[in-house]
């Protein structure tokens, strides 16, 4: 194909540029979402971590948890901000896998301890990334960063109803109905021991989800660990108009597959959903296993359910439609 026609008449130049516009891949305007799970190409028990990349190149790491092998994980690349929905070990990262594919999908080997610093803080520190959280969590992270020689100012607050820009992405937090205590192991020292002995946790405010508005207009809801909330209707759908939902479906600790499907079908009504936090080996060879919670969720959901297969990047347009990689 000839790309330049210096002596062509005006109409031909116009036709050429129209053709080129139509033929250009839309990827430059899409949001790229890459799951970082414990096992390549699968959705496994502890998988929560996602990298969400704005068309402008801004990269956010959501709930690094236990399936990122620390700051050296080659899958991370540049990270501009680390998001932490709440302080439980499987989200902030009390320990993590030593390498990808260690252990079984249903029982990953997460033997590397990252308490009391947390995997999220270790990654943010090494990457020079911000940590953007709500509630009373920013002071906890600021203290960790300072104790490790980092900049406490890199821990930034965004509470319910407010917003903060990181690159071209507007970030807000939304309520999650769950719990959010910090266990002694993440505090360390005498206070940590005393809390553990008493069976208590430290207060860091309510747990959160996030709503992210990307520079191409795509609005994404990250549920965090939550039950059914009124705000999924009143705030996430009616105010922000989320088009893509990342929904935790694992049951017992959060909404199960049927409750999660109700949130998607009746409260938020997005264009598509990514199942997350299944707390099971949900796939084999990248295909959903029949009879799993993930399978139940897919069948109950009225919109397309995309599986966050580790390492497989999915591209979403501004309307929440997966245009590549799903
Ligand atoms: Zn969890």
Q: What is the per-residue pLDDT across 174-203, written as a single tens digit (0 to 9) for each?
A: 999 999 999 999 999 999 999 999 999 999
Q: What does the radius of gyration of the chain's CA atoms come to, in whole angstroms?
A: 21
The Cα 112–Cα 102 span in angstroms is: 11
Query: For residue 274, how far is its CA from the centre of ligand 1 (angstroms)?
Result: 16
The Cα 28–Cα 55 span in angstroms is: 6
Query: Would you state the structure tokens that stand for residue 77, as one six-digit string?
Result: 């690349």
Q: What is the pTM of this model?
A: 0.91
pLDDT in tens, 153-169: 999 999 999 999 999 99
In the predicted structure, residue 1 carries a pLDDT above the cut 70 = no
Query: For residue 62, how far is its CA from the centre of ligand 1 (angstroms)?
Result: 13
Query: Which residues crowd ion ligand 1, with CB under 5 Å?
Result: 90, 225
Query: Would you state the structure tokens that stand for residue 265, as one six-digit string?
Result: 């079908």
Q: 148-157 contacts: CB < 8 A, separation 24 or more?
A: 148/117, 148/121, 150/124, 150/125, 154/124, 154/128, 154/129, 154/130, 155/130, 155/131, 156/130, 156/131, 156/132, 157/132, 157/133
Query: For residue 225, how far is its CA from the centre of ligand 1 (angstroms)?
Result: 5
Mean pLDDT value across residues 280-293:
98
In the predicted structure, residue 319 carries a pLDDT above the cut 60 = yes
Query: For residue 122, how far is its CA from the centre of ligand 1 (angstroms)?
Result: 19
Query: For residue 41, how far is its CA from the centre of ligand 1 (angstroms)?
Result: 21
The helix-helix angle for 137-147 and 119-127 (nearest 10°) equals 60
**Residue 138 CA to its chain's centroid (Å):** 18
- H or E element, residue 82: strand 81-83
Q: What are the residues whose beta carbons fall under 8 Å from the beta carbon of 287, sequence distance 6 or more?
A: none
Q: Name the phi and psi angles at 156, rounded to 5.
A: -120, 140
Query: For residue 96, how far is its CA from the centre of ligand 1 (angstroms)?
Result: 14
The Cα 159–Cα 132 span in angstroms is: 10
Which pLDDT band holds residue 4 (cuts at 50, 70, 90)?
very low
The pLDDT value recorded for residue 7 is: 41
- H or E element, residue 294: helix 293-300
The pLDDT value recorded for residue 131 is: 98
Q: Kindly report whether the peptide bond that precedes residue 116 is cis, defined as omega within 30 degrees of 0.
A: yes
Query: For residue 85, how far is its CA from the centre of ligand 1 (angstroms)?
Result: 9
Which pLDDT band holds residue 28 (cuts at 50, 70, 90)?
confident
Query: For residue 23, how far is its CA from the centre of ligand 1 (angstroms)?
Result: 42
Query: For residue 229, how far is its CA from the centre of ligand 1 (angstroms)?
Result: 17
Query: For residue 88, how far is its CA from the centre of ligand 1 (angstroms)?
Result: 7
First to last CA, the chain: 30
Query: For residue 65, how far is its CA from the centre of ligand 1 (angstroms)?
Result: 9
């Amino acid at each position: 194909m000839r790309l330049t026609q210096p002596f062509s008449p005006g109409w031909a130049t116009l036709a050429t540029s129209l053709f080129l516009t139509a033929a250009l891949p839309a990827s430059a305007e899409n949001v790229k979402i890459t799951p970082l799970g414990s096992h390549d190409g699968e959705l496994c028990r502890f998988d929560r971590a996602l990298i969400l990349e704005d068309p402008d190149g801004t990269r956010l790491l959501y709930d690094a948890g236990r399936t990122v092998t620390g700051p050296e994980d080659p899958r991370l690349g540049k990270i501009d901000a680390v998001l932490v929905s709440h302080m439980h070990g499987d989200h902030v990262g009390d320990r993590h896998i030593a390498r990808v594919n260690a252990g079984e999908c249903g029982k990953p080997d997460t033997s590397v301890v990252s308490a009391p610093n947390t995997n999220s803080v270790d990654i943010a520190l090494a990457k020079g990334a911000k940590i953007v959280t709500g509630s009373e969590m920013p002071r906890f992270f600021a203290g960790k960063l300072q104790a490790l020689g980092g900049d406490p100012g890199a821990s930034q607050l965004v509470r319910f109803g407010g917003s903060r820009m990181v690159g071209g992405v507007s970030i807000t937090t939304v309520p999650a109905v769950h719990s959010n205590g910090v266990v002694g192991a993440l505090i360390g020292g005498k206070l940590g021991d005393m809390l553990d002995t008493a069976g208590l946790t430290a207060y860091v405010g309510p747990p959160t989800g996030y709503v992210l508005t990307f520079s191409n207009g795509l609005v994404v809801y990250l549920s965090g660990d939550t039950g059914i909330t009124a705000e999924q209707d009143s705030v996430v759908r009616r105010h922000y108009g989320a088009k893509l939902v990342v929904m935790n479906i694992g049951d017992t600790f959060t909404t199960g597959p049927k409750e999660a499907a109700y949130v998607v079908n009746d409260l938020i009504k997005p264009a598509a959903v990514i199942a997350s936090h299944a707390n099971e080996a949900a796939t084999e060879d990248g295909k959903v296993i029949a009879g799993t919670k993930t399978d139940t969720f897919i069948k109950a959901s009225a919109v397309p359910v995309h599986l966050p297969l580790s390492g497989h990047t999915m591209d979403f347009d501004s309307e929440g439609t997966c245009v590549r990689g799903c």
